[in-house]
Amino acid sequence: MDFFLSRYRHLTVLLVVITAQLLLIAYQVKTSKDIPLIRVWAVTAVTPFESGLELVRRYTWGFVEDYFVLLGVRSQNDKLRNENGQLKIENNYLKSELATADRARALSVFEARSPSKTVAARVIGNGTGANSKVVFVDRGSTSGVESGMAVVTPDGIVGKVVEAYPTASLVMLITDPTFAAGVVSQKNRVHGTLKGQGHAECLVDYVQNEEHVDIGEWFYTSGDDRIFPKGFPVGQVAAAPNGKTFKEIYISPSGMQGGVEEVLIVLQGVHQEVPGAEVASPAYSLMPAPTEIIQTPEGGPPPGSLSTDADRLRAIYKDVGIEQKHTYGEGPPGTKPPDFTKIPSVHGAPPPNAAAQPLTGPPAAQPSTSRPKPAPPKSVQPSKNDQPSAQVPSKPAPAASERPPAPAATQPADNQ
């Protein structure tokens, strides 16, 4: 045995070691148990070094790695910056396109809603000249554009055509020093003449110092110039100090805010009403409108019929005409009128002297204290208040066919 061990000592040790490990494995497999002691020792011996390695790596290799990452970040940053710049350019381009589309849509809507016949045009260039404010638009005489036509946008007036070429037109902007147009204020209906100043603001001239113009008040075209149809917005009052004789009213043109790109040339203008002014609250209190009809005294006319002296007179004259078989308005001048001394008592209407009596209860009715004189049949005269009062100087009037009709004045009304 000793000989065998000494002769095969190495092999014996090997067999012992292998057998021991086989038994170890067999034990683990058989019992499904681990050998925690060996594992704990091994793990305890190895993991601190592993942690140390990780720590070293984090502060060395990690630093180097971060450095290269940062190098990559730098190049990536440059790349992103370039990309961002391109995107900004593209974004600005798209915004511009969108704004153009919005303006075109606004023009289209305005063109469809406006009663005036217009044609859309695009500004294609500026005119030469040191102080002149003129632009070229891409619509000319072939599109029906003629000299003297108004040029507007949905926001307000822009200028007027001063020259019409076959394919383009020269438009004088309202900021041109030689431009003039009739305007009217919205609130107080103050008429004046809009003049260009060569810069962003325009002046409304020929407004008396006694007139009242508020800051921020809107001015509209008055139609007095026979170029711009009445009712187009012009701009808001920026300042309105008193001058020697006339106010110096400065207006910020609303049609040229943000530049002029697309415009409408008014081929056939139609006057519109100037939007109503904001009515200030009255300083006195008014009673609420009556909701019930107050019972009238016996014998009075039913409510709602012949409530004024004029109505009653009209009814009386009409009855007289019917009774005497006379038709008003017929016959040559000098025809004998009906005999108004024979006034019948018809429709239950009181005699003229009784017509002046208040018949109904509303206190708002204004009773007349004296008997009205019988007016002749054609008695109502046209009012002069709506006649154009401001004159636009210095511009020769274009052909009548190009002009919008005069602002709608009150026509003489015939009572018959």
Partner 1 sequence: MTEYTQTMTEYTERLLNETPRKDASDRFRIVWLVVIPLIAVLSQVYVPRFVPFLAYLELPLLITVHFALTSGGPIGALSYGMFIGLVQDSLSHQPIGMYGIVKTLVGYFAASVSMRFDVQNPVVTFILAFFFYFFHQFFYWVLSRALLGETLGFDAQQTLIFGLLNAAVALPLFRVLDKLKVAR
Rule CB under 8 A: which residues touch partner 1?
9-10, 13-14, 17-18, 21-22, 24-26, 28-29, 34-35, 38-39, 41-43, 45-46, 49-50, 53-54, 57
388 token code pair: 């154009």
DSSP lists the bridge partners of residue 170 as 136, 163
Q: Are 168 and 140 in contact (CB under 8 A)?
A: yes
Instruction: Using the minimum distance from each CB to partner 1, give the nearer residue, 4 or 41.
Output: 41
- Please tell me what DSSP assigns to residue 285: -
Dist CA 238 CA 70 (whole Å): 57
Tell me the closest approach of the beta carbon of residue 26 to partner 1, in angstroms. Answer: 8
Tell me the closest approach of the beta carbon of residue 65 to partner 1, in angstroms. Answer: 9
Tell me the closest approach of the beta carbon of residue 3 to partner 1, in angstroms. Answer: 18
Dist CA 235 CA 215 (whole Å): 11
Residue with tokens 């891409």: 138
Instruction: Using the minimum distance from each CB to partner 1, give the nearer residue, 44 or 394.
Output: 44
Instruction: Using the minimum distance from each CB to partner 1, give the nearer residue, 5 or 354.
Output: 5
Phi, psi of 299 (to 5 degrees): 90, -10
Tell me the closest approach of the beta carbon of residue 38 to partner 1, in angstroms. Answer: 5
Tell me the closest approach of the beta carbon of residue 61 to partner 1, in angstroms. Answer: 8
Containing 265, the helix (H) or strand (E) segment is: strand 262-268
Tell me the closest approach of the beta carbon of residue 39 to partner 1, in angstroms. Answer: 5
Instruction: Using the minimum distance from each CB to partner 1, give the nearer residue, 46 or 346.
Output: 46
Dist CA 139 CA 141 (whole Å): 7
Q: Residue 230: which of 95, 16, 67, 392 has the closest Cα?
A: 392
Instruction: Using the minimum distance from each CB to partner 1, give the nearer residue, 24 or 124.
Output: 24
Instruction: Using the minimum distance from each CB to partner 1, give the nearer residue, 38 or 322.
Output: 38
Residue type for 323, please? E
Residue with tokens 């008193």: 242
Dist CA 85 CA 78 (whole Å): 10
Report CA Rg, the chain: 48
Tell me the closest approach of the beta carbon of residue 55 to partner 1, in angstroms. Answer: 12
Is 3 buried (19+), middle (13-18) or exposed (0-12) by CB count in 10 A? exposed
Instruction: Using the minimum distance from each CB to partner 1, give the nearer residue, 29 or 399.
Output: 29
